[in-house]
Amino acid sequence: MKPIKSSLLPLIVCLLSFLFSTTLLATELHRGNGAEPKTLDIHKSSGVPAANIERDLFEGLVIAGADGRLIAGAATTWQVSEDGLRWTFTLRKNSQWSDGSKVTANDFVFAFRRALDPNTGSEYAFILWAIKNAKAISKGNVKSLEALGIKAIDKHTLEITLDHPVPYLPSLLTHSMAYPLPEKVIKTFGKKWVKPNNMVSNGAYTLAEWTPHSHIKLIKNPKFHAAESVKIDTVFYYPTEDSSAELKRFRAGEIDLTDAVPSTEVSWIKKNLAEAYHNPPYIGTYYYAMNLEKAPFANNPDLRKALNLAINREILTDKITKAGEFPTMSWVPEGMNHYKTQRTPDSKLSQKERLEKAKALYKKAGYSKNKPVEIEILYNTSDNHKKIAIAISAMWKQTLGVKTTLRNEEWKVYLNSRTQRQFQVIRASWIGDYDDASTFLDLLRSDIGTMNPSSWKNKTYDSLMKQAETEADADKREKMMQQAEQIMLDDTAIIPIYHYTSKHLVNPKIKGWVDNVMDVHSSRFLSK
């Protein structure tokens, strides 16, 4: 072997050092993520699993920081006019798409118009309804997308005009519905723009792979304006609907973060994995919705109330979920900004009194143990959802004699069944998108579309929520929303069961994880 020339030694040493350090420093994050997303199209996706990934791929004007609080995103600053109707956002001049093109105000104009275009068919269009003409456009009453109250003043200045003052607009804009989109890419690839080789994004990561039922792989976006602060190079998201299997993978070191924990293992986890277990309050409500378009629930509030009262929520949270959830007969969680949660008089009854009233209402509705109602409960595949469904069906059987069957579906099929109203009773949950009671109460408006799972309709409720939209006096607005919530609860539009706590296992080696009520944990803020 010929000796290496001494003049080349420094170059070789430098090259080897670079290669070694690059390999050594490259970090991967492995995240359990519940159900596999139906799509990563920000205007057509739904559910927390998709939102988690989209939050890594895209950056809106305003974002949630590591602690869940609002911080600057694609916009560096924003101002609002004295009348609260016109918001002006100044965009970062160094923001780029992952293909190297500049992020401009027109990218937000295009995205917002697409979000509200009836042809897009977004279930979450209502997130943007506060914008001038947004609701009329999404309902097809205004044909011109140009009528939407959003315009680019110049490349780096965006103006949003509202129909009425919305002081919490920055919180709304953290939602995926308010992310920008690259118009040229979408027009080039159409529906296939979300494919790994086609997608162009402006967030901390780009989409590298999507292997169905296996994983979604994201890689660090070198064009991201804050790329130097992003410590994780590669993020793997795994579909983990089986929480028991997810726990095993966490214990084996295959997953750094779990989406959930199996309820049957909470006590063991608290004892043996205490350092890794995170269980803070979370602004969300777990509930059952009944299909009010069909028998037996249509025009039968007595039956709905009977089923509601026959559920022992304390048993569910103490014996089934066992992770500090708050049993409830209310819809809006406690602690929302400038709002006191409403309760029905039945919530003050003892469990024994509730059961006696449930029996009387069941009989009044035309049913008895000799003539039971037959009900099917639909839930998306999950050990925890299954256990709750089994427990509730047993309670209904024991107290009222209800004949219940269970049906579980994978997430994508479940979403379709929910949208098409192909169910009698469906397991559902709602996680607040921002810190205001309207994020829960708007869901029961009759004009909200398929996001109102029970199809409940009440003109007084709609009127109160419409008035609350434009009411500037915070106290008067609160009273309107409280009255609306009380009407909905009294009519048993849905069956609230408990308010959430988030439940995760986090590898103690992970740094930057901050528990917060929004349960938002972008990968860009984490490190190993």
- Of 96-100, 434-438, 524-528, the one with minimum mean pLDDT is 434-438
Peptide bond into 296 cis (omega under 30): yes
pLDDT for 24 equals: 46
pLDDT for 435 equals: 86
Domain 282-501 has CATH 1.10.3470.10: no
pLDDT for 68 equals: 93
pLDDT band at 3 (very low <50, low <70, confident <90, very high): very low
**Of residues 287, 275, 236, the one with CA closest to residue 259:** 236
The answer, yes or no, to whether residue 378 has pLDDT greater than 70, is yes
Q: Are 353 and 376 in contact (CB under 8 A)?
A: no
- In percent, the amount of the chain with pLDDT more than 70 equals 95
pLDDT for 511 equals: 97
Second-level CATH architecture of 205-280+503-525: 3-Layer(aba) Sandwich (3.40)
Distances (CA, A) of 522 to 45, 111, 426: 18, 22, 30
Q: Cα 183 vs. chain centroid, distance in angstroms?
A: 25
What φ, ψ does residue 338 adopt, rounded to 5°? 50, 50
The answer, yes or no, to whether residue 1 has pLDDT greater than 70, is no
Please give the average per-residue pLDDT across 285-310, as a whole number: 97
Q: Are 223 and 96 in contact (CB under 8 A)?
A: yes
pLDDT band at 413 (very low <50, low <70, confident <90, very high): very high
Q: How buried is residue 187: exposed, middle or buried, by Cβ count under 10 Å (0-12/13-18/19+)?
A: exposed
- SS3 assignment for 313-350: HHHHHHHHHCCCCEECCCCCCCCCCCCCCCCCHHHHCC
pLDDT for 472 equals: 84
pLDDT for 14 equals: 47
pLDDT for 493 equals: 97
Distance (Å, whole) CA 273 – CA 41: 36
Distance (Å, whole) CA 129 – CA 124: 10
The H-or-E segment that residue 62 falls in is strand 62-64
Please give the average per-residue pLDDT across 346-371, as a whole number: 96
Distance (Å, whole) CA 498 – CA 183: 42
CATH number for 59-184: choose from 3.90.76.10, 3.30.390.10, 3.90.1150.10, 3.30.70.260.
3.90.76.10
pLDDT mean across residues, the chain: 94
What confidence tens digit (pLDDT) does each residue in 120-166 have?
999 999 999 999 999 999 999 999 999 999 999 999 999 999 999 99
Please give the average per-residue pLDDT across 332-338, as a whole number: 90
**Residue 399 token pair:** 């107290």
pLDDT for 470 equals: 86
For residue 82, the one-letter residue type is E
The answer, yes or no, to whether residue 257 has pLDDT greater than 60, is yes
pLDDT for 18 equals: 42
- pTM summary value: 0.87
User: What ranges do the domains of the chain cover?
Assistant: 59-184, 205-280+503-525, 282-501
Please give the average per-residue pLDDT across 310-314, as a whole number: 98
Q: How buried is residue 475: exposed, middle or buried, by Cβ count under 10 Å (0-12/13-18/19+)?
A: exposed
pLDDT for 26 equals: 77
